[in-house]
Chain A
């Protein structure tokens, strides 16, 4: 009980909330935006995600190891600057050159002897002792290399000081160096072959970017630069100072103005490698797939994309809010936000949003927007609250696992859930209300032209619901919008392909891929792009960030390569006067300007922090070889010690290897310049190749997924009117499969009756001509020549023309099966004019010569008058089962004062009365005439086989089952006839064209049979009023009448089994099939489903405003159409309306079910195919270009998945190929 009250309270609260949201959308959206921004404000303080190292500079003089406790004071100290660093890096930067340069020297001399000097410098460093402290005691001792790096074992130090220099290539042994015939090969043999993203061995050992080492055969500058890198585990200022002094003393560097007072601490973040990136990317892909599949379900709103965006914004901003709130309350996120984010989205989910949308959309359309929102909200309130409570419970359980990571996740999730709820309630609901209002406005605009005379609806809160609806009664159902209405149910794979094509996904992926590629290139910097960019940036903005020492990091673009520029000393602007700036005077000491460009060693500010030019992975890579991680730790880089070496040419010649002179520089050796270029080319080629492969892959994918060549055999678009192209919401017209109607022509007037047994097709027009067609090919087989009557021109009497009453004549006329494409276009200027074309007989050749000779001109008056007469009744013609109108019309036609006495009795048929009902079984056509006469014709030969004139009242409906014919008459009586055949033996039976399908179970008659038709029983007062519908199946005959009742008879003994009462109007439609399903619809708009065995009513639904015009059942549902232009689909077992389709005004009411899920309806000059499962329009087939005024009144579904419909004076045979494919 309290639960129920709680529920009511929640519902009421939600209702009020919905009203609030829909009433004040703009203030509420502003409010939510403001609150989102407020909650996200703390996020500004969080560091931006990134893995680049962070620097902090301190002075060398007063350096002490930072303490562990939090900085507290002087807040410029970053919080990672605590405790000792992993290592102190001391670099000794050696610049060596052979000078003066001598033309007798070979290119190898540029670097061989300078490199050779590394060993002596190394020796010096190793042996340096300052007050009993040696390097061995201070340096960082390393152990084994990682097991995977065996090939580096020879190069990198193990079990000792971490001291790397180019000498490591030769195990720090001078003798190995001297014995090495090809130094470059030794250096390059360790380089990785492909594209490298991390620091290479050459970088590690040389300690300067590969290009600046100068170790190449094409080094025009002839200066070799390398470093000796020492990693110290503890910092002894005096030892370092003494080492510096010693080296400077030994190898004095002239004009060296490097600053030596700054120590840079570099902090490394946790690195995200590709290995960690892939799962992350995967989770994001899954996340986006989830969002895509979820938002795709949003339907029936004005802007699908807008709402989907709103949903995503809701979820994302709720997450941001939760992170912001958590930060605000001191919960610093330790989890990697990017990693848990997808899971949070999945936990929070988009379900609530979808449920809300669905609920609001499914409220009645005729309500006011405010009320709709409120009602939708309150409908779903309980489930939303329940879900939220469940989720909170689950998260609470998760919280009690007491695992810190999970606890933190849960905390975030709770805050995220709450803020998501808040946003759903305020933000999304409001957006939804705006959307619904827009849709309503659009609806209004759409309908406005139709009701132009109506006063515009008041914009006030209360719309005049009490006023009777305008001429078009406002529909009960949701009127689908035009685009959604034309929604196509395409196969999923096609949708995917369309999606790809529509968003140009392939191109975009390639573009994004290229951009990412370039980004990676710039980031990892294989070609020096980054320095270039950095240099340009630094030129534009002279002062960098506060953390960096001013103007230290970046050098001007590629220090000049040409030897002349080296002569000019670099300008080196010095804004901060340096304390140890003592070397200015020494510059004059070296004025040796040699005409042969002699190498000159210069020291510029760019040499101070040469390590900045290295890859940012340089240090992590070096330490990771010894399984030391720098992630979340820092190293301190001490100022470099400059060493200048000048070598005499003689020394260079002495150190030559014997092979150096006589091997010319082989072209295969890559210089570093060339290598960089090559890398660039390789990358470009690889990128191009990848792009091409991607395109090919997508193309193949498309071919595989889309085997049919839709584009090639497509039909020219002129066929279909442009505006009526059914388009899906993706803007794609469907693949036009070849549904081309086959037009059967020959009737001169509108077709009245249509009957088929699957093989043959019989039609009868107002001119009382019966034509028999082959239902497969559309050939006209027989014309039962009642239309030979022509009003002769002058005499006014009827003449019978018997010239073209047989098959041969039919074919000679060349007017039947013509593809519609070839028909001449007829301008549809006057839609309200009667169609006079059937009256124009252009077939002069077939006229008897006497006729043409004697005629003195046609009198069109009578014909035109008749056509107008027809035209006036045509609105009611749209609904053939509507009995009073059509009957009246038929009678009026039948009563025409024709019947000339000199009618030639070619067949003794009844020519004066019109055909009101017709049935076809086997090859017998049964016709019921207005005179009450029942005739049986041979469909093939066109001869009258027998006739019965027992009744006098006109036959309104016929049923022909097995060998029984049931005829319903105008006066309400029901006659049962038996057809008896006395069959001569041994005769073949004609069954249409041979080789087609299976035989229907109906009996066959051959032309030699003697057929008689006898009235077996006549039920005189079957109904009180005229019988309107007669259906027979499964041994039962069901009649519906104007007297509101349905009666069920047994066919064998014509005994009335039940009288079914339940309708409050005349019966207009009945459906019965082999499975004894009986459904009836009446003028009151109700549909009843009956149990034929017991006569009880199974269900009774109110379906339509106005008559139910036709009814069809499938195994699962009932489809009804009514005068209100609605097609409703009901669940057969429960009687619940599944959905309804609003058709255009004046659409025909004809229906047919082709397969379990394919519905076909007739419309204005077209037939439409619908997917019954979803209610989507599959395709509309236009029967003719000139078909505006003609609506399809009768529609028959044949066994071979073809449909036949009448359409003016033409018949149209439409094959449905897709169904044919499914059939077998």
Chain B
């Protein structure tokens, strides 16, 4: 039978995934730009000087990387939920997602702007905040696990990048990077996962109806 373009777009699985990936990519790029700006202001990260003059104040490759990562993570979360068969139940509303994003930005803000006595204190506070974020907005074990794994991987990748001299931190205290970086990564993964799940909710609803029809 004939199908309307919108319905077919939504029900078409690959199309849906593509749309979601694009949206997540944009979210990732946006967050990367904004948060990097926060870091650059305080001279936490140093990029080669000639790029600083641009308003985006970070190397060109950072936002696309973050966007891709966000798309991957955001698609991975609902996929994992479906595989494990334990859908995410906790307050799935956009207002909650927005709150989560706000807290994430706040954590970044704190990491960049608040003057802590020492780095251990900073890292511990941020770790507590990140776990608090997970507890408030996620509370699923799978989400926690995935967050930790991705945070570790991302930290490793950053270490490698810094080791190869792509960029550097002004005052590294954990090998080559700042010790709070894993916490930020973790919080970011939780946030993006939250957004991804919320986006997937639409597809889930439609496909559920579809299976019933079939």
Chain A interface (Cβ < 8 Å from any Cβ of B): 147-148, 274-276, 278-279, 282-283, 286-287, 289-290, 293-294, 296-297, 339, 342-343, 346, 349-350, 394, 397, 401-406, 491-492, 707-708, 1115, 1155-1157, 1217-1218, 1220-1224
Report B86-97 CB contacts with A as 1/0, cut-off 8 Å: 000000011101
Q: Judge if B172 is at the interface, Cβ distance under 8 Å.
A: no
Tell me the smallest distance from the CB of A552 to a CB of chain B, in Å.
37
Give the contact stretch, choosing among B32-40, B61-69, B141-149, B154-162: B32-40
Q: Contacts A279-B38, A290-B95 given: A343-B114 contact, CB under 8 Å? A: no
Once the chains bind, are A346 and B6 in contact (CB under 8 Å)?
A: no
Closest to B108 in A: A279
Chain A residue numbers with a CB within 8 Å of B128 are 397
Once the chains bind, are A346 and B102 in contact (CB under 8 Å)?
A: yes
Chain B residue numbers with a CB within 8 Å of A293 are 93-95, 97-98
13 A–B contact pairs at CB < 8 A?
A: A278-B33, A289-B94, A293-B93, A339-B113, A343-B102, A401-B125, A403-B121, A707-B6, A708-B6, A1218-B4, A1220-B1, A1221-B1, A1222-B11
A996 to B103, CA, bound (A): 57
The listed residue (A147, A297, A1218, A1220) touching B93 by CB distance below 8 A is A297
Once the chains bind, are B213 and A1155 in contact (CB under 8 Å)?
A: yes
The listed residue (A404, A1156, A1224) touching B3 by CB distance below 8 A is A1224
Tell me the smallest distance from the CB of B62 to a CB of chain A, in Å.
15
Once the chains bind, are A282 and B105 in contact (CB under 8 Å)?
A: yes
A36 to B37, CA, bound (A): 37
A369 to B11, CA, bound (A): 46
The listed residue (A282, A346, A1222) touching B99 by CB distance below 8 A is A346
Chain B residue numbers with a CB within 8 Å of A491 are 6
Q: Judge if B83 is at the interface, Cβ distance under 8 Å.
A: no
Q: Contacts A1221-B7, A1224-B3 given: A406-B93 contact, CB under 8 Å? A: no
A784 to B114, CA, bound (A): 88
Closest to B10 in A: A491
Q: Contacts A148-B53, A275-B41 given: A1223-B102 contact, CB under 8 Å? A: no
The listed residue (A148, A289, A1221) touching B98 by CB distance below 8 A is A289
Once the chains bind, are A1221 and B2 in contact (CB under 8 Å)?
A: yes
Tell me the smallest distance from the CB of B199 to a CB of chain A, in Å.
10
Once the chains bind, are B106 and A346 in contact (CB under 8 Å)?
A: yes
Once the chains bind, are A276 and B41 in contact (CB under 8 Å)?
A: yes
Chain A residue numbers with a CB within 8 Å of B34 are 278-279, 282
The listed residue (B3, B93, B109) touching A343 by CB distance below 8 A is B109
The listed residue (B30, B55, B102, B209) touching A1156 by CB distance below 8 A is B209
Tell me the smallest distance from the CB of B51 to a CB of chain A, in Å.
11
Q: Judge if B101 is at the interface, Cβ distance under 8 Å.
A: yes
Chain B residue numbers with a CB within 8 Å of A403 are 114-117, 121, 125
Q: Judge if B18 is at the interface, Cβ distance under 8 Å.
A: no
A350 to B4, CA, bound (A): 39
Chain A residue numbers with a CB within 8 Å of B11 are 1222
Once the chains bind, are B57 and A406 in contact (CB under 8 Å)?
A: no
Residue among A342, A346, A707 having the largest count of chain B Cβ atoms under 10 Å: A346
The listed residue (A394, A708, A1223) touching B213 by CB distance below 8 A is A1223
Q: Besides the contacts A405-B114, A707-B5, what 8 more A-B pairs have beta carbons closer than 8 Å?
A: A279-B109, A293-B98, A294-B95, A401-B121, A403-B114, A406-B110, A707-B9, A1222-B11
Once the chains bind, are B132 and A394 in contact (CB under 8 Å)?
A: yes
Chain A residue numbers with a CB within 8 Å of B132 are 394
Tell me the smallest distance from the CB of A290 to a CB of chain B, in Å.
4
Chain A residue numbers with a CB within 8 Å of B116 are 403
Chain B residue numbers with a CB within 8 Å of A287 are 102
A459 to B48, CA, bound (A): 76
Q: Judge if B52 is at the interface, Cβ distance under 8 Å.
A: yes
Tell me the smallest distance from the CB of B98 to a CB of chain A, in Å.
4
Chain A residue numbers with a CB within 8 Å of B5 are 707-708
Closest to B110 in A: A406
Q: Judge if B167 is at the interface, Cβ distance under 8 Å.
A: no
Chain A residue numbers with a CB within 8 Å of B41 are 275-276
Q: Contacts A293-B95, A491-B6, A1221-B4 given: A286-B101 contact, CB under 8 Å? A: yes
Chain B residue numbers with a CB within 8 Å of A350 are 95
A406 to B129, CA, bound (A): 12
A297 to B40, CA, bound (A): 38
Once the chains bind, are B95 and A297 in contact (CB under 8 Å)?
A: yes
Once the chains bind, are B1 and A1224 in contact (CB under 8 Å)?
A: yes
Once the chains bind, are A1223 and B202 in contact (CB under 8 Å)?
A: no
The listed residue (B57, B99, B213) touching A290 by CB distance below 8 A is B99
Q: Contacts A279-B34, A1220-B1 given: A346-B103 contact, CB under 8 Å? A: yes
Chain A residue numbers with a CB within 8 Å of B8 are 1221
- Closest A-B pairs by Cβ, 6 of them: A293-B95, A290-B98, A293-B94, A294-B95, A1156-B212, A405-B114
Once the chains bind, are B125 and A406 in contact (CB under 8 Å)?
A: yes
A1221 to B5, CA, bound (A): 10
A707 to B6, CA, bound (A): 7
Q: Contacts A283-B105, A401-B125, A1221-B7 given: A349-B99 contact, CB under 8 Å? A: yes
Tell me the smallest distance from the CB of A29 to a CB of chain B, in Å.
27
Once the chains bind, are A278 and B99 in contact (CB under 8 Å)?
A: no
Tell me the smallest distance from the CB of A446 to a CB of chain B, in Å.
32
Tell me the smallest distance from the CB of B192 to a CB of chain A, in Å.
14
Chain B residue numbers with a CB within 8 Å of A148 are 49, 52-53
Once the chains bind, are A1157 and B209 in contact (CB under 8 Å)?
A: yes
Chain B residue numbers with a CB within 8 Å of A1220 are 1-2
Tell me the smallest distance from the CB of A1074 to a CB of chain B, in Å.
14
Chain B residue numbers with a CB within 8 Å of A707 are 5-6, 9
Chain A residue numbers with a CB within 8 Å of B94 are 289, 293
Chain A residue numbers with a CB within 8 Å of B4 are 708, 1217-1218, 1221
Once the chains bind, are B210 and A1222 in contact (CB under 8 Å)?
A: yes
Closest to B96 in A: A293
- Give B171-214 interface residues, CB cut-off 8 Å to A: 202, 209-210, 212-213
Chain B residue numbers with a CB within 8 Å of A339 are 109, 113
The listed residue (B7, B97, B102, B213) touching A283 by CB distance below 8 A is B102
The listed residue (B49, B57, B99, B210) touching A275 by CB distance below 8 A is B57
Once the chains bind, are A147 and B102 in contact (CB under 8 Å)?
A: no
Chain B residue numbers with a CB within 8 Å of A1223 are 1, 213
Report B4-28 CB contacts with A as 1/0, cut-off 8 Å: 1111110100000000000000000
A401 to B101, CA, bound (A): 23
A1224 to B132, CA, bound (A): 44
Chain B residue numbers with a CB within 8 Å of A349 are 99
A1115 to B211, CA, bound (A): 12
Chain B residue numbers with a CB within 8 Å of A1217 are 4
Chain B residue numbers with a CB within 8 Å of A286 are 98, 101-102, 105
Once the chains bind, are B40 and A275 in contact (CB under 8 Å)?
A: yes
Chain B residue numbers with a CB within 8 Å of A147 are 49
Chain A residue numbers with a CB within 8 Å of B105 are 279, 282-283, 286
A702 to B72, CA, bound (A): 27
Closest to A1158 in B: B209
Tell me the smallest distance from the CB of A319 to a CB of chain B, in Å.
15
Chain A residue numbers with a CB within 8 Å of B101 are 286
A403 to B122, CA, bound (A): 9
A740 to B169, CA, bound (A): 67
Chain B residue numbers with a CB within 8 Å of A342 are 102, 106
A1217 to B2, CA, bound (A): 9
Chain B residue numbers with a CB within 8 Å of A289 are 94, 98
Tell me the smallest distance from the CB of A295 to a CB of chain B, in Å.
9
A1157 to B1, CA, bound (A): 20
Tell me the smallest distance from the CB of B100 to a CB of chain A, in Å.
9
A1115 to B98, CA, bound (A): 34
Chain A residue numbers with a CB within 8 Å of B106 are 283, 342-343, 346
Chain A residue numbers with a CB within 8 Å of B49 are 147-148
A402 to B122, CA, bound (A): 11
A287 to B202, CA, bound (A): 23
Once the chains bind, are B212 and A1155 in contact (CB under 8 Å)?
A: yes
A618 to B142, CA, bound (A): 56
Once the chains bind, are A1222 and B95 in contact (CB under 8 Å)?
A: no
